[in-house]
Amino acid sequence: MKKIGLSLIALALILNACNTAKEVKKDMNNPFFKEYTTPFQVPPFNEIKLEHYMPAVDAGIADQIAEIKAITDNKEEATFNNTILAFDLSGDLLNNVGNVFFNLNSANTNDEMQALAREITPKLSAHRDNIMLNKDLFKRVKAVYEKRNDLNLDAEQIRVVEKYYQDFERSGANLPEDKQAELRKLNDELSMAELKFGENALAETNKNFKLVIDNEADLKGLPADVVSAAADLAKADSLDGKWVFTLQKPSMLPFLQFAENRALREKLYKGYLMRGNNGNANDNKEVLGKLVKLREQKAKLLGFNNWAAYVVDVNMAKTPEKVNELLMKLWTPALERAKKERDDMQAMIDKEGGKFKLDMWDWWFYAEKVRKAKYDLDEAQLKPYFKLENVIDGMIYTANKLYGIKFIKRTDLPIYDPEVMTYEVQEADGRHIGIFYMDFHPRAGKSNGAWCTSFRSQSYKDGKMITPVVSIVCNFTRPSGDVPALLSFEEVTTLFHESGHALHALFTDGPYRRTAGSVPNDFVELPSQIMENWASEPEVLSVYAKHYKTGEVIPQQLISKLEKSAQFNQGFETVELLAASLLDMDWHTIPFNGDVEAFEKAAMDKIGLIKEIAPRYRSTYFSHIFSGGYSAGYYVYTWAAVLDADAFDAFKQSGNIFNPEIAARFRTLLTKSGSDEGMTIYKNFRGQEPSIEPLLKRKGLK
């Protein structure tokens, strides 16, 4: 999901190289130049060193140049096999090194790796442009495209042809030469700006702020495990005897939920809220402004009114207008609900004799109090039942009950960090499906948030299936002292969410790389979000929610409270998500006026966002859209929520949340996703178009 670019001079040099396919000498001590001899041929992380990446990138580029040249030099008429399939199979070495380098640059980076990323990124961007703007290659792709219905191709082959033609068209292959040169320059600048935004956001989150507490009285209200974790952070930072809280959510959110010191809650939250907007070397306002202007220029160059129109054109939504229509359907009831939640909290503040109005940094604190008062439930009651290892067991139980698959823990696979866990995933009969990496805790070199990625995607070569190597990366609460990693319920659902992405990648089985598992951006969160539903089902809770000290299964009384409070704070959660989604759409549909803060304020004022809630991500640290591949696409979480609520409703309506017939159909959806349009794939599963009603009901907005 990283985008990459280069200067015009370097572009010209590499373009010339495309015609000569210069061979790069390969040092066979470099692990990328040898077939992996590890179990299941996973990357040999223990052998890979920083100096191995650049030679492998250069060699990978040279190899693919030669592969492309073999296609364009072919004197035979362009066919599916000698053009489309040959292109589909090209670039193995480059894929291998890129999958390792960029995944680790997100999960386990350092200054040297980031510096290397700034060298590698433009090379890869230029290489991609040189492929997608290669006239001879496009001529052959176009020739196959134009006669695709006369070549006796099957439906999947026709789809691959159409998708590749669309890729070339959307990459500027039909533009005149002068416009292509302009596009190359834009791609170069865009790739470097996106990389810079991500680096700044990482530094602002992990390096440039910490709340150091040296007065124990300031810890009042915090649970013992939170205090212990803060002491561990302080000790790791050579601040023995003190307590440190960071902008990582496992550290920040418990403080906002439980700390009675309002001034310190404000200080910590403002540190979070102001990331990338502090006028320092990591300030993101200038790079953000540059990004949106470059994207607008690129979109118009390619014939679209704005960047959102360009992005959404290949999604299920098709137009920005359809996106905004869905978001606003939810916005009005969600905002009304959030206002009621705010009023409930203000009433509690007044009842306690507080002489202040609720503000942003108060929301989590008073939400906990209101939840306790309404449902006799708070996070501290739940966390002892959510030991990380048990939650993993719950996810595995769910996957096994749905699909019959097994997870075999492995300790013999190379890992890139000592905390990483590895599993082999098998069918019920023992057949190998793939390898699953799990990386759960924050560290200095890890980006914020949670995501799923692949070190190797499913594919076929010489008729043999290449199985996937999948990874989920999270930032969950660490173990502390003799207390294991105890998760919040939000972290529990995040683990189930990311495992849903992993199952999608593990189950994918398509004959062509271009289409296997390749779905529209507003479909991609369906496999993940539907898994969240099982996390709170009583049957599943009774399997994994066990007290970390006694082993006692979570009592029915607590499950009932959790069920009754399921719609609690849904106004807030929905509003902050929708506000960020609408802000994203404004950034990519409305011309930028040059003032980031004024632009954001105008966007939020327009929809009536109340001052007590900020969008889930403010512009200067909105990495999803400015460095993470979700530009004009943060709405996809909401679009997919309609799908996942409707899909899970099929299980609920059947009376069996593990209904084997429905589970089999859903696995087919995961396996064959990419073989047809997103809505067609969904309707094949559901038998009808999705309804918004189950989502409104789930959130209590109807």
Q: DSSP for 551-596, please give it.
A: -PBPPHHHHHHHHHTTTTTHHHHHHHHHHHHHHHHHHTTS---S-H
Contacts of 177 (CB under 8 A, 6+ apart): none
Nearest C-alpha neighbor of 521 from the set 105, 1, 173: 1
Strands of the sheet containing 421-426, edge to edge, are 406-410, 421-426, 432-439, 469-473, 451-456
SS3 238: coil
Q: What is the DSSP letter of 208?
A: S
In the beta sheet, which residues pair with residue 245? 211
- Report yes or no: 160 and 516 within 8 Å, Cβ to Cβ: no
For residue 342, what are its two tokens? 């705010």
Q: What is the largest CA-CA distance in the chain?
A: 85
Q: Is 491 among the catalytic positions? A: no
**Count of alpha carbons within 13 Å of 428, Cβ hemisphere only?**
7
For residue 355, what are its two tokens? 């002489």
- Contacts by residues 398-406 (CB-CB < 8 Å, ≥ 24 positions apart): 398/496, 398/531, 398/534, 398/535, 398/540, 399/499, 399/503, 401/658, 402/658, 402/663, 402/666, 402/667, 403/503, 403/507, 403/663, 403/667, 404/428, 405/433, 406/430
Contacts of 188 (CB under 8 A, 6+ apart): 5, 6, 7, 8, 11, 122, 125, 126
**Count of alpha carbons within 13 Å of 696, Cβ hemisphere only?**
14
- Report yes or no: 530 and 647 within 8 Å, Cβ to Cβ: yes
Positive or negative CA dihedral for 209, 118, 517, 499? negative
Choose, from 368, 498, 537, 600, the residue flagged as catalytic.
Answer: 498
User: What is the rounded distance in angstroms from the CA atom of residue 107 to the CA atom of residue 191?
Assistant: 19
Nearest C-alpha neighbor of 390 from the set 554, 538, 527: 554
User: What is the rounded distance in angstroms from the CA atom of residue 90 to the CA atom of residue 161?
Assistant: 15
User: What is the rounded distance in angstroms from the CA atom of residue 339 to the CA atom of residue 373?
Assistant: 18
CA 233 to chain centre: 27
SS3 212: strand
| Residues shown for the chain | 702
For 147-267, list the strands marked E by DSSP.
211-213, 243-245
- Helices and strands, counts by H and E, the chain: 28, 9
Which residues are identified as catalytic? 498
